[in-house]
Structure 1
Amino acid sequence: MGDLMKEVADIAAREKLWVSGDTIVVAVSGGPDSTALLDIMHRLSMAQGFSLVAAHVDHGFRGEESAREAVSVRRFAEGLGVRFESALIDVPAFIEETRMNAQAAAREKRYLFLHDIATKYGASRIALAHHADDQAETVLMRIIRGTSPGGLSGIPLRRSEKNVELIRPLLRMNKSDILRYCEERVLTYSEDSSNAKRHYFRNSIRLDVLPALTKYNPQLSDSLVRLSELASAEDEWMDAETRVVYDRHVKLVQGGCQIDRKAMLDLHVALQRRLIKLILNYMGLETETTSFDGVETIRMAAAEGAPSTWSVDVGGGIRCLREYDTMRFVRADRYTEDNAAEPGRYAYDAYGGEEQMKVLAVPEAGAALTFTLEEAPVDGGKPSGRLEAVFDADELALPLAVRNRRPGDRMRVLGLNGAKKVQDMFVDDRIAPSRRERLPLLVDADGHILWIPGVRRGASAQISDSTQRVLRIRADFTPEDDFGSNKTHSSIHSIGKNVGGPGIAE
């Protein structure tokens, strides 16, 4: 009897499950496990200076039987002098409404109630009565259903949820020791009749599968618990390594995040898989529902030889895109493959020819264009790079305007005969599909495309020996807009001065 309480005290101290001054909600079903837990924690609370609230839920499944359990738990808690809270929840009606399975529905409603009680009393922790036999069952269930190495860690000893910590002080104790404690302490507890119903998967594991397998390994439960301990430690280490990789390689961008495809491929395959799941988790996807095949689909899309542009919905409103050498993860409701930019979505009167200098912010493109009129060619009238263009100001059809791409756009390209489709130029220059609708196009009064910053300069209004005035135009892109480019040269890069544009992902 004393040994079990000492073991709980030792684990609590070693793992820092609570500290003096804490208020802890103890979930008490009325069975032997939770009854023993409440008794042990009550005895420890007097010496260690924390307070308790006993919380009981009647799920509405078993009528009179569960009503008697609620009365019994109340009497036990009151006899210990522990504050008591209870709730009768119509879980069958909730199941009818949601079509959830019974155990999942009961768990959801039960945990919601426990969190409400924690909030009411300002509790920092909720204590649950899972024990080592539960752990063994959980690990075996996951193996049978199919799981990842992380799933082998089973039930965690502690886990943060909704600003409180779920703790399981009995997780390393065997059921037999708990029953012995109840017997020695003469504790009255209830037996839930539903525990004998084999149509519940966990009951079938406990009553049939584990006993059958134990014939081949009498210490099977202990082995499964030991496996969970090893897997939990290794999973924790791998999680830490994955976060290091995330911080090093993943960049937040509008609507989501991105990673260089080659950087991801340089990682060990185990880190690739974990990184994908971590990204999806950070974007709000419940990764427990992310299948192995789903992760592999994303991972293989980054491989050499896979299509250079590709996208797939991964669920939860998240889409993964490969855009040449960038893998992007975006929220589909905020960011479509074409960045939610419809043809003609933005168009600006840009420059009428009178101003010596004018700066035009184009927030839809995450860019600013600076127009400078020079009376005579400077530096031979040459641009400083692909983010700058120069024109014979007197040969331009004014006013100039800035807009985004439209279907069928063509441009007379400097050095080529005839016109070329803008779409083809984007493909040739490996401009990401999600960026194509956003790039600013400079057009003249006749609608001819003069320049696509970082991509091509048109053939119109070239500088010549007879040029008297030069219009020099520079494009600056915000750092936040430096996504989807995948270009190692300087054609599209961020040299902006905090120009208004798309924001960082929330």
Structure 2
Amino acid sequence: MEKAVRSFIKKHQLLHKGARVLVGVSGGPDSVGLLHLLVKWRKSWELDIHALSLNHQLRGEEAEADFTYVKNMCESWGIPFHGASFDVQAFADKEGLSTEVAAREIRYKFFKEKMNALEADYLALGHHGDDQVETLVMKLVRTASSQAFQGIPVTRPFGKGMIIRPLLAVTKGAIESYCAENGIQPRIDATNFERTFTRNYYRHQVVPLLKDRNANIARTAQHLSATLAEDEAFLQKEAKSAVQEVVIFEKEKQQATLEINLFKKYDQSLQRRAFHLILNYLYETLPNQLSYEHEEQFLTLIRSPMGNATLDFPLGLKLNRAYNKLTFYFEANNPGQQFFHLTLAIPGKTNLPDGSVLTATYTVTRDKATPYSLYIPVEKVTFPLHVRTRKDGDRMSWKGLRGSKKLKSVFIDAKVPLHKRASWPIVVDDEDHILWLIGLKKSKQTEEDGKQFVNIQFDKGNQ
């Protein structure tokens, strides 16, 4: 076992000379075996080793005996001991958590406090190859996302240092043999055999069946976990690049907008991950109600030929599609939809989502033009008229312009802020010819003479 662990440490660069290493020790064979190994290498690696132990108060006198056992063992091995006691069950009841989850939260909080206080480089934990098998099987049963199907990481950032798991290279049996060979008599937690705990069920009911089929299942699981983690790290990097390329974030509004056609050029595996990156940006804490079904709704929405649609997500998040734009926004921060397409009431008033109003009437006279008043010769356009937000490829022409010009260029020339362009109202006829970019440009058709006109007045209302 010693050779396998040493090789694993070198392969993954888990330690460096002169490091301060904290070891989580419960008294069981895994953590005690790990501590013994590190103590054996303490001189050659010049390690400063400290032991951490937490009494969860779940097993009465047995738990107290485990705690004392670790404390006495550390004293005999010359290891600084840092211990604490916490009523896990009371915390679980108060927070509505399972005992397993509550114990983990408290344990890692204690570990992090000690990591920071002692300015440690590493926190070494005794997870082994069999734990890896159990974790992957549990994930397989309850996980519907490839992103979440990962095993126990060999290392990860924690506090001011890193968590390392050197024993993932070996099995539970190898650790127990190592303890016996070195005269170590670890404590045995009786709850490890109670099958009411989820992990124990897989440990005693499922994993033995897999070992019958593959005696090296722990090694297989560790290799699978490592390759999955490498692949996911690469895909996440690519997804971040895609998000930076096609998504516009507006922090003050808690809003994100993407160009659907550009987004669809990326592979679906990146689309999925980009979707989750956007959610992580918008939500302070991801709600429990989110599931893979929301991911599928999102993918269906961007593939749909429909021009306009809205999805409702947990905690008031909305996804609004308008043509080639998809906006994520919280209803409380954006009372009006950013994108719209409405048919003008003639005669009558048309209320826009931002509170502005278009008032249309028929007239036979044309008054002096203003940026917020338009006269349209009835015989020169196709009715009904509409007001909408812009679409990709929108162009218009006006008096004195040769050919036509993209609306994007008009906005740039007029120095219209980027966040205002997507919701800017545009009047079009029924053939989608742009007649009026309100406040900015009017088409050639509206400048022509006629016997009857539609007069449209724009009022900013409560903007």
Is the pair's TM-score, using the shorter chain for normalization, greater than 0.5? yes
Residue 127 of structure 2 aligns to a residue in which SS? coil
Identity of aligned residues (%): 26
Taking the aligned partners of 1:265 and 1:253, their CA distance within structure 2 comes to: 22
SS in 2 for 1:415: strand
Please give the secondary structure, in 2, of the residue aligned with 1:152. coil
Distance 2:355 2:422 in 1: 21
For residue 132 of structure 2, what is the amino acid of its counterpart?
Q
CA contact (8 A) 2:324 2:391 kept: no
Distance change in 2, residues 1:83/1:299 (3 Å): same
Question: 1:218: Cα distance to partner?
Answer: 4.5
User: How much does 1:339 deviate?
Assistant: 8.0
Q: Aligned AA for 2:153? A: P
Q: In 1, distance between residues paired with 2:212 and 2:91?
A: 40
Pairing 1:336–2:275 present = no
Give the 3 Å change call, closer, same or farther, for CA 409–230 of structure 1 in structure 2: same
Q: 1:266 to 1:287 in 2, by over 3 A?
A: farther
CA contact (8 A) 2:115 2:160 kept: no
Partner of 1:168: 165
Task: Tell me the TM-score normalized by structure 2.
Answer: 0.73
- Taking a change above 3 Å as real, the CA distance of residues 112 and 282 of structure 1, as seen in their structure-2 partners, is same
State the secondary structure of the residue aligned to 2:14: coil
1:74-106: per-residue Cα shift (whole Å, max 9, x none)?
111122222111111111111111111111111
Match of 1:415 among 357, 375, 393: 375
Unaligned stretches of 5+ residues in structure 2: 339-352, 362-372, 379-383, 393-406, 427-433, 439-463
What is the alpha-carbon distance in structure 1 between the residues aligned to residue 179 and residue 360 of structure 2?
85
Q: Distance in 2 between matches of 1:121 and 1:339?
A: 52
Change (3 A) 1:484 1:116: farther
Alignment equivalent of 2:388, drawn from 411, 428, 431: 428
Partner AA of 2:237 in structure 1: A
Letter in 2 for 1:416: I
Distance change >3 Å, CA 287–CA 95, structure 1 → 2: closer
Q: Judge conservation of contact 1:308–1:322 (CA < 8 Å) in 2.
A: yes
**Contact residue 387 and residue 425 of structure 2 kept, 8 A:** no
Counterparts of 1:486 and 1:242, CA distance in 2: 33
Question: Which is worse superposed, 86-95 or 264-273?
Answer: 264-273
Q: Look up the SS of the partner of 1:251 in the other structure.
A: strand
Q: 1:27-426 maps to which residues of 2 (within 5 A)?
A: 27-254=24-251, 255-283=254-282, 284-286=284-286, 290-306=290-306, 308-315=308-315, 318-330=317-329, 335-338=333-336, 405-406=354-355, 409-410=358-359, 413-416=373-376
Structure 1, 253-262 or 181-190: larger mean CA deviation? 253-262
Length-normalised TM-score, structure 1: 0.67
Unaligned runs of 5+ in 1: 341-403, 419-423, 433-453, 456-473, 493-506
Question: Would you say the 8 A contact 1:261–1:326 is kept in 2?
Answer: yes
Q: Is the 8 A contact 1:20 1:48 kept in 2?
A: yes
Compute the RMSD of aligned alpha carbons.
Answer: 3.4
Amino acid at match of 1:140: V
Does the 8 Å CA contact 1:9/1:44 hold for their aligned counterparts?
no
Match of 1:302, SS state, is helix
Query: What secondary structure sits across from 2:205 in the alignment?
Result: helix
| Contact 2:129-2:221 within 8 A present in 1 as well | no
1:70 offset after TM fit, Å? 0.3
TM-superposed deviation, 1:57:
1.0
In the TM superposition, what whole-angstrom CA distance separates every residue of 1:405-433 from its partner, at most 9, and x where no partner exists? 53655267523379xxxxx988523489x
| Equivalent-residue separation in structure 2 for 1:41 and 1:426 (angstroms) | 75
Shift of 1:287: 8.9
Q: Is the 8 Å Cα contact of residues 309 and 324 (structure 1) preserved in structure 2?
A: no
Distance in 2 of aligned mates of 1:118 and 1:178:
26
Distance change (3 Å), C-alpha of 1:214 and 1:476 = same
In structure 2, the CA distance between the partners of 1:289 and 1:14, relative to structure 1 (3 Å rule), is farther
